[in-house]
Structure 1
Amino acid sequence: MFDQNLRIKDVKQEIGQLVRSLRKQEAISQNELAERLDLSRITIQNLEAGKNFTIDTLLKVLQHFDLLHQLNDLFTALSNQSDNPTSLY
C-alpha cells in the first residue's frame, strides 16, 4: 500500500526545500517568517533543514503561503476515495 523506497526523511527534506524556496520568493528572512508566524527562527531553520517539526508548524507555514487549502483538498480527496472504494469485479 505504501512505497517502501520513500523515506520519511526524504519527504521532510522536500518540505524543507519547498518552504525555503517559498520564503526566498517572498524575499524574507527566516527571522521575518518566524516573527510573522509567532515561531522561533530555530523552528524555521529546522523545518527548512528537514529536521523534526510539528504538524502545527507545518500548517502555519502552509497557511502563510496560501497552501493550506491544497493540503486540505488532498486529504478530502483521499477521504472520499476511501469512502467510495471501486469494485474489482
Structure 2
Amino acid sequence: MILDSLTVYDAKIHIAELSKVLRAYQGISQDQLAEDLDMSRVTIQNLERPKNVTLDTFLKVLERFELLEKFDSFILENIEDKNITPLY
C-alpha cells in the first residue's frame, strides 16, 4: 500500500467538510439541514464528525445541495470508461 493513498477515513473527512462548507455557503445550521432532509440533527452531526455515515445520508445531502446529478454523472462516466454494462 502506498503511504500517500487515500483511506476510507480520509474520504469520510472530506464528506464531512463538504457538508460543512455547503451549509456555511447557504447559511444554514445543522438543525435546518436536518429538518430539510427529515433527519435528526444527530444524523447531520455524525456526518460532519465523521461518524456512522450512511450512503443514504450522504446522497440526501448531495441532493439537498443539488450535487446528486454531478455525483451520479461521475459514477456513470467511470462505468462507461471501463466499458461496463449496468445491471439494470
Q: Which residue number corresponds to residue 80 of structure 1?
A: 80
Q: Which residue number corresponds to residue 46 of structure 2?
A: 46
Shift of 1:52: 1.8
**TM-score (structure 2 length as normaliser):** 0.87
Q: Which residue number corresponds to residue 14 of structure 1?
A: 14
AA in 1 matched with 2:12: K
| Equivalenced residues, count | 83
Write the distance in 2 (CA, Å) between the matches of 1:37 and 1:3: 38
**TM-score (structure 1 length as normaliser):** 0.86
Q: Which residue number corresponds to residue 26 of structure 1?
A: 26
Q: Which residue number corresponds to residue 87 of structure 1?
A: none
Write the distance in 2 (CA, Å) between the matches of 1:3 and 1:76: 27
Where in structure 1 are there 5+ consecutive unaligned residues?
85-89
Write the distance in 1 (CA, Å) between the matches of 2:54 and 2:11: 14
AA in 2 matched with 1:52: N
Name the SS of the counterpart of 1:83 in structure 2: coil
